[in-house]
Structure 1
Amino acid sequence: MELQKAKTGKFVLNYGLLLGIILVVVGVIMYVTNNHLEPHWSFMLLTFAIFVAVVIYGIKAFKTENGGFLSLGEAIKVAVGIGLIAAIIGGLWTILLSTVIEPDYMVQVEDIQREQMIERFPEMTDAQIDDALGMSAAFRSPWVNFALGLVMYMFFGLIIGLIGGLIMREKRPYDV
């Protein structure tokens, strides 16, 4: 009797959508509480904890539907896929926020960076601060942030999938 293997795509889509929606809700909460420009560390910790929990739960659900079996490759595939879907949804929220809801978002970010540089480096001249901010201007684009978010979430998915897969893996017995 041959066991049917579960498909990773269903879990990637379902848990990726779940994580993406949760990330948007956290983003909306940050916006409403005026923490979107300078987020408190607790929002970052909460976001990371939610990310880990949803990815691990997605891997566990895949293993359960797969007859209790899980390879390291399957765990990584599910985790990276969940990270990719969540990053796309979260990135779309960020683009919506920074181009439609708050069109001067990037200007506000630059102003905050300028204030922080003046506080941290009081010996810098205005020209030096302008040069430093000019170099970082390319990274303030919503599309660059979207791309960096994709890479970051897929990387975290890879790490969590690797760790979770090593802990939860269960090899399929060979058919005789």
Structure 2
Amino acid sequence: MEEQAQSPFQAAIKPGITMGLIALALTYIAYFVDSTLLATWWFGLGFLVIFFGLIIYFGKQYRTELGGFMSFGTAFNFSFLTMIVSGLVSLVGQLLLFQVIDPDLGSVLADITFENSMKMMESFGGNPDSLSPEMLDEMRKSSSDPYTLSGQLKGFGFGLIAYAIIALILGAILKKRDKSLDY
């Protein structure tokens, strides 16, 4: 009897957990080396590159398991579900980091983010001194929101939208149709 291939959901669980654990490991390593790394743009960009690379790697493995061909829908579902599982694993680890292990880390990173925003404003020719105190308070609050419990949960919710967009791109990269069926 022929062995059936896994559904995209079944196939996405192991890579999703693996990617989530890799993301957590990198986050915790950065935290222990220099926690300010977590507020740098290039650290996030590095995460994104690793994220894309791993999904493509795991997606090609899944496509091979399916016989070398995969429809766009299957590729999209696999990519999206992998990112959701990875995101959930990362969310749990980050909640532990920001809410249990080091509750003060969020305010430290928020201050760094706020300072970086002010520097960026100056580099584009803006004058931070011209901002009203209310605007500065709002900027400071928006810098700290991503590190709060509700902010992290909202971030995951908005992340689902980003995951869907990324999954569309990855679905287009990973799909491969069997051209022999065209005739």
Superposition TM-score, scaled by structure 2 size: 0.76
How big is the alpha-carbon RMSD for the aligned residues of Structure 1 and Structure 2?
A: 2.9
1:17 is displaced (CA, Å) by 1.1
Counterpart in the other structure of 1:51: 51
Instruction: Output aligned runs, 1:17-166, within 5 Å.
Output: 17-34=17-34, 35-39=36-40, 41=42, 43-119=43-119, 120=121, 121-134=128-141, 138-140=145-147, 141-165=151-175
1:28 is displaced (CA, Å) by 1.0
Determine the C-alpha separation between the residues in 1 that align with 2:114 and 2:64: 51
Which letter does structure 2 place at the counterpart of 1:81? L
Answer whether contact 1:114 1:129 (CA < 8 A) is retained: no
State, as a whole percentage, how many aligned pairs show the same letter: 26
What is the CA deviation profile of residues 89-134 of structure 1, one whole-angstrom value per residue up to 9, with x for unaligned ones?
1111211111011112332233224434554313324443113334
Query: What are the ranges of 5 or more consecutive residues in structure 2 without an aligned counterpart?
Result: 122-127
1:75 is displaced (CA, Å) by 0.7
In the comparison of the two structures, how many residue pairs are matched? 171
Determine the C-alpha separation between the residues in 1 that align with 2:51 and 2:113: 27
Answer whether contact 2:111 2:140 (CA < 8 A) is retained: no
Distance 1:111 1:49, change over 3 A: closer
Answer whether contact 2:114 2:143 (CA < 8 A) is retained: no
1:151 is displaced (CA, Å) by 3.3
Determine the C-alpha separation between the residues in 2 that align with 1:136 and 1:32: 22
Counterpart in the other structure of 2:124: none
Determine the C-alpha separation between the residues in 2 that align with 1:172 and 1:58: 25
Determine the C-alpha separation between the residues in 2 that align with 1:45 and 1:106: 20
More displaced 10-residue stretch of structure 1: 7-16 or 115-124: 115-124
Which letter does structure 2 place at the counterpart of 1:8? P
Determine the C-alpha separation between the residues in 2 that align with 1:62 and 1:111: 43
Which letter does structure 1 place at the counterpart of 2:173? I
Determine the C-alpha separation between the residues in 2 that align with 1:40 and 1:153: 19
Superposition TM-score, scaled by structure 1 size: 0.79
What is the CA deviation profile of residues 64-95 of structure 1, one whole-angstrom value per residue up to 9, with x for unaligned ones?
11122211111111111111111111111211
Determine the C-alpha separation between the residues in 2 that align with 1:154 and 1:122: 39
Query: What are the ranges of 5 or more consecutive residues in structure 1 without an aligned counterpart?
Result: none
Structure with bigger helix share is: 2
Which letter does structure 1 place at the counterpart of 2:86? A
